[in-house]
Amino acid sequence: MRGLGITVTAIAAMVATACTPEAVSPAATTTSATATKMTNYLDGLVRARQFRGAVEVRVGDKVLLSKGFDRADVDRDAPNGPDTRYRIASLTKQFTALAVLILQEQGKLAVTDLVCAHLPNCPETWRAITVEHLLTHTAGLFDYTEVTAAEVERNLAEFGPEPTPEQIIHTFIDRPLDFSPGTQWKYSSSGYTVLGQLIEQLSGHTYGQFMKDEIFDPLDMSDTAYQPDQRDDDHDAVGYQNWTTPATTLADATAFSSGGMYSTVTDLARWNQFLLTGTPALVKPDTLAQLLRPRVDADATGRYGYGLFTLGTGDAAIHFHGGWLAGFSTYNEIRPATTLSIVVLSNLDTADTMGVGRDLATLANP
């Protein structure tokens, strides 16, 4: 599967100017030292041209580090920061999954429903596929992101640069299933594209509007959206395929509900606080528990639930997901037992954001 500075350091500096050194608490000193270690680590990756982007690390409501590194746009010499927007790729899936569970709370579907009960023109081969199969990557749908370059060019010529959800589904609806639904696990963005179509059909709203009304606005995630026609060059990071060369990117619409959103580390940290605490009460506690519950064995990465991987059990459980699109590499992680939250967003697609996230978790040592 593939700016705000260091908040606690600033706080420690203000304390130091008002008090004698002995007045600085051990906790504040430890936190400042942790932020320094993380910053030094990330600065080293920048010097090695292995990372540019932004991170936010929290334990509970305490921000250990919220900072951008290197540039969001090399040509304009614009810096990365906590409020720089990045395409978040497959981190989109966890939001799509919650949207489906919100529809379930509203009585508009059940995860046990057959997809064809809600989807018009459903092919015969999909008759045994349930909503949960789509959520857990066990439907057997061919992954439309695995098409050849020639097929991509043909689809762009037929549908234009911003295909509709129906047009994306058209690219795989007639392909044979990779396996019988429910018998295997195989990561497939196609399933989450179908879920986006179901969200639009059952809610009566566009995917982007439903996400805004039901999730982003209640969580005060004002810099997060699926709005491919509303870009902001002064606020959005440019994606790079290497240190100096911008990547050739497709329109957000080509990834739709499987990977088309953009966000910031600040907003995603708010999302993680919701996942860890259930506040604000966007959904019922049981619904949130359903989102976080691992359900099927995936691969060496861990088990998969609804839009999230889980590694370990009990106090050792880590819920996470990564994402990749040309020009961008992303990673998000929470550890409920320690309330650790880590967001890593990079506008360098060769960055190992999962590795960075895990290293930051080690440095946080909550």
Q: Are 195 and 259 in contact (CB under 8 A)?
A: no
Residue 135 amino acid letter: L
Q: Are 298 and 322 in contact (CB under 8 A)?
A: no
Instruction: Count the neighbouring beta carbons within 10 Å of the beta carbon of residue 84.
Output: 24
Please state which CATH number belongs to domain 7-364: 3.40.710.10
Q: How far is CA 280 from CA 28, 251, 274, 288, in A?
A: 28, 33, 7, 12
Task: Kindly give the confidence (pLDDT) of every residue in the chain, 366 residues in length, as a single tens digit, with 9 standing for 90 and above.
Answer: 433 333 333 323 333 333 333 444 444 545 789 999 999 999 999 999 999 999 999 999 999 999 999 999 999 999 999 999 999 999 999 999 999 999 999 999 999 999 999 998 899 999 999 999 999 999 999 999 887 777 777 877 777 778 899 999 999 999 999 999 999 999 999 999 999 999 999 999 999 999 999 999 999 999 999 975 566 667 899 999 999 999 998 888 889 999 999 999 999 999 999 999 999 999 999 999 999 999 999 987 789 999 999 999 988 999 999 999 999 999 999 999 999 999 999 999 999 999 999 999 999 985
In the three-class reduction of DSSP (H, G, I as helix; E, B as strand; rest coil), residue 220 is classed as coil
The rounded radius of gyration (Å) of the Cα atoms in the chain is 21
Domain boundary assignment for the chain: 7-364
Question: By CB neighbour count within 10 A (0-12 exposed, 13-18 middle, 19+ buried), where does 31 fall?
Answer: buried
For 130, the token pair is 């349930």
CA angle, 11 as apex, 77 and 34 as ends, to 5°?
75
